[in-house]
Structure 1
Amino acid sequence: MRNRKITNTSVEVTELGFGASVIGNLYRVTPVDEAAAAVEAAWDAGVRYFDTAPHYGLGLSERRLGAALRDRPREEYVVSSKVGRLLVPNEQPRGVDSEGFVVRDDLRRQWDFSRDGVLRSIEDSLERTGLDRLDIVYLHDPDDHWRQAAEEAMPVLAELRDQGVIGAIGAGMNQSAMLARFLRETAADVVMLAGRYTLLDQSALDDVLPAAAEHGKSVVAVGVFNSGLLARERPAAGMKYDYEDAPPDLVARALAIAEVCERHGTTLPAAAIAFPFSHPSVINVTLGVRGPEQARRNAELHGRHVPEGLWDDLRLLGLIRPDVPAMSHAEDTDGERRSSRCL
């Protein structure tokens, strides 16, 4: 599994990342042994970048990820977590979390992008994971909190980075416009872009990707399956797109892309993972993982060769934007030049 460096930092991440939201019991219970096996399978496949957050399962994801990594050599992997949602006692619990995670709601989330809130959140995350440090810290969904996030949270993260406490800092969101502002107007090194640079949505070409290129910063792509519509070889009605039922026109477009993939000897999910690397600022694709089979499948899909001619045909047929860049070439840490998808 090849590494890519977050520009202007010492932090390197594998091209494929492990998204730990699912092992926080997202939508349904994931048994603890299955969560541990998922991390082990990803590790065996070469994944060394793991992303979590307090939000995921009200801390369950952080606890499980930390436990699964505890006996691994700390210098061999990178962990990111997030700030902006403090976990505080819930004075009116109803039994189960109301934000999609199947966990008890003895805690609740409290928005806080203040300096003290950021410091407290990092301390709490270190306690839950049992780790000695977080390599990357993102502001988590600051959509309605731009001023405090930009003027209080990001400066304290920059201080911690400059002191060597954190390796890299940034923000993670489902929208791209505000992420572009973080890249242009703050000390962010990297952004986590969810769902806005995929085979079905290239809106990030209008804002965050040009900003990253202009300012020499990096992008981690998540949500590349757009909630599932791109996750299967043959899309069908009833599948999800951005957390809702996919509209018929998008199902038809996904199916058309799948047919072009088949003609080029590849599959829709393999192309969905490869696609974000078409932009040179994208250094990683992180996928949610529930169990070991999914971890192995993700690695296998990432490792498939996706022909350059596929992107040419998709542009020609109007299935992706004409301004999608030609597949970039990245440089390995040993200096060897290679196609970013010729694995």
Structure 2
Amino acid sequence: MPTPSSVSRAEPDRPARLPLGPLGYGAAALGNLYSARPDDVWPGIVPAAWEAGVRYFDTAPHYGLGLSERRLGESLRGLPRDQYILSTKVGRLLEPNPDYRPGDTDLPNLFDTPATSRRRVDYSRDGILRSVEESLIRLDVDRIDVLFAHDPDDHEREALDTAFPALDELRSQGVIRAYGAGMNQSAMLARFVRETDLDVVMCAGRYTLLDDSAARDLLPAAEERGVQVVVAAVFNSGLLATDRPRPGAHFDYAQPPQSLVARTNRIADVAGEYGVTVPQLALQFPLRHPAVTTVVTGADTAAQISANAQLMEKPIPTALWSRLIEEGLIPAAGDNRK
């Protein structure tokens, strides 16, 4: 079993805040999320992100049973290592799947890749160290900047008792620069911020135009403790991804209530008066909170990541934000100090 000293180390002096940049790329699509990415498509995504100024890349062993890490590592090869931040996750080890039969895929877990491996939840110290070692091999890098405990919703005690102490040890020895947790909820992340010495958290879907629940627990705690917040899933799995809601669009992977569809259409009405689109608002909204440093988005194609970067750069009039708040269409918590 690897020990921290067996893992290639970064310099032990980490910066107070990681230079993540306003936009990061979440590489779940490189793991064939929902469907396989053609071999003439996926290799162009990271170069397009780089060209657009993205310097933060996030992945996980969970994404495509390691495929995302392997493809991301291949895509980053040759780029200057000291110019980008790389994060992956711990908590799920990959093991050979004894039940695999030719043709079996991981689509039950949303990834269109052969199910030759299976996941085993493991937040123990040994599990964390093994996960880091295996991720380094798949990514083909000599160091990882940030490690997140991945979705420990049903394992809060293990995360607090074993995972975070192991991650703290890796950070103190200079193996990683920072650690934290990534989840689809904000309440447990807020507890982690208050009860541990983590550096950064990734919160998916809980600080968006349509769901500001993180503003009531996580964001105040993070601001108080000086913890960076990365916001993911800003489109709430589809409803906010287009100029207007499309038939069949999802909200948090389910059919949205009509009230949210109507609210999104009204946001589009008001935004249109200012020449702004719903996706543009969705991308920029989280960064209005002082605790949020970065928005991470996925992309299926090079064109998609380039379009997201362009939307992030287009200014949004202050009058539009004020109007949306006055009409009760977006939470007032978004109208703050940035």
Q: TM-score per shorter chain, which class? A: over 0.9
Q: For residue 26 of structure 1, what is the aligned residue in structure 2?
A: 33
Instruction: Tell me how far 1:9 sits from its aligned partner.
Output: 2.9
Query: Which residue does 2:160 correspond to in 1?
Result: 150
Give the match for residue 22 of structure 2: 15
* CA drift at 1:131: 0.6
CA shift, 1:325, in A, is: 3.4
Tell me the residue number matched to 2:70.
63
Task: Pick the aligned partner of 1:139 from 127, 139, 149.
Answer: 149
The one-character-per-residue Cα deviations of 1:294-319 (angstroms, maximum 9, x if unpaired) are: 11111111111111112211111111
Among 118, 121, 125, the residue aligned to 2:131: 121
> What residue number does 2:224 align with?
214
2:181 to 171, 175, 179: 171
Point out 4+ residue stretches in structure 1 off by more than 2 angstroms: 7-11, 321-327
2:179 match: secondary structure: strand
The Cα shift of 1:101 comes to 0.3
Q: TM-score, normalised by structure 2?
A: 0.93
Compute the displacement of 1:32 (Å). 3.1
Match among 100, 105, 112 for residue 96 of structure 1: 105
The answer to whether the Cα contact below 8 Å between 1:315 and 1:322 also exists between their aligned partners in 2 is: yes
1:313 aligns with 2:323: yes
Whole-angstrom distance in 2 between the partners of 1:230 and 1:241:
8
Is residue 2:284 matched to residue 1:277? no
Structure 1: distance between partners of 2:241 and 2:334: 21
Quote the residue 1:46 is aligned against: 53
Gapped regions of structure 2 (runs ≥ 5): 1-13
Shift of 1:235: 1.4
Q: Is the 8 A contact 2:286 2:334 kept in 1?
A: no
Cα distance in 2, alignment partners of residues 11 and 119 from structure 1: 22
- Letter of the 1:247 counterpart: P
Contact 2:97/2:118 (8 A) holds in 1: yes
Shift in Å at residue 125 of structure 1?
Answer: 0.3
Partners of 1:41 and 1:116 lie apart in 2 by: 37
Q: Give CA deviations for 1:18-41 in whole Å, capped at 9, x if unaligned.
A: 110011100001023311100111
- Distance in 1 separating the partners of 2:42 and 2:246: 29
Q: Can you list the C-alpha shifts for 1:195-221, whole angstroms capped at 9, x where unaligned?
A: 000000001111000110111111000
Aligned-residue sequence identity (percent) comes to 53
Question: Could you report, residue by residue, the CA deviation over 1:233-279 in whole angstroms, capped at 9, with x for unpaired residues?
Answer: 11133211101122211111111111111112211100100000111
* Whole-Å separation in 2 of the counterparts to 1:284 and 1:20: 15
TM-score by length of 1: 0.92
Cα displacement string for residues 163-218 of structure 1 (whole angstroms, at most 9, x for unaligned residues): 11111100000000000011000121110010000000001111000110111111
Distance, in Å, in 1 between the alignment partners of 2:176 and 2:267 is 40
On the 8 A contact 1:234/1:255 being kept in 2, the answer is yes
User: May I ask how many residue pairs the two structures share in their alignment?
Assistant: 322
For 1:241, what is the secondary structure of its paired residue?
coil
Match of 2:269 among 259, 267, 270: 259
Q: Kindly tell me: are residues 46 and 324 of structure 1, through their superposed partners in 2, closer, same or farther at Cα, counting changes over 3 Å?
A: closer
Q: Which residue of 1 aligns with 2:250?
A: 240
Alignment match, 1:159: 169
- Give the whole-Å Cα distance in 1 for the aligned partners of 2:247 and 2:47: 34
- d(CA) in 1 for partners of 2:160, 2:254: 30
Residue 8 (structure 1) shift: 6.0
Q: Distance in 1 between matches of 2:88 and 2:333?
A: 33
Is 1:295–2:302 an aligned residue pair?
no
